[in-house]
Amino acid sequence: MVDTRRVCFLLKVRADRAEEYRERHEHVWDDMRAALAEAGWRNYSLFLREDGLLVGYLETEDFERSRAAMESTEVNARWQAEMAEFFEELDGRAPDAAMRPLAEVFHLD
């Protein structure tokens, strides 16, 4: 049986760019979707609050391995470069590099 890890993270989208950020995610490139799936990102969802708080959720066997697999793709480099302008507090990092998983404290099976 494969051990699945649930990962939740927070990022901050610039509130004045939130609507455009939503619109961009209505048209995620097919090759980006394929790369995510190949890298082991499953059940990946993003939730955006009006003030720009972004909550991400995914399931994977190994988050660091899955993130590294995405980092090695050309499509991810293009996507991250386009999306970086939407975020606050990246400190020079790409948005995917700024993701810090939250500690899971409860899960109802």
pTM for the structure as a whole: 0.89
Here the tokens at position 31 are 């090759």
pLDDT tens by residue, 57-84: 999 999 999 999 999 999 999 999 999 9
Question: Quick check: is 107 catalytic?
Answer: no
Q: How far apart are CA 47 and CA 55, in angstroms?
A: 5
d(CA 51, CA 84): 17
What are the two backbone dihedrals, phi and then psi, of residue 9, each rounded to the nearest 5 degrees?
Answer: -145, 160
User: Domains along the chain?
Assistant: 5-88 (3.30.70.100)
pLDDT(30) > 90: yes
| Confidence check: pLDDT of 28 > 70 | yes
Q: Which entry of 6, 14, 22, 25 is annotated as an active-site residue?
A: 25
CA torsion angle 67 8 47 2 (round to 10): 70
Three-state DSSP state, 95? coil
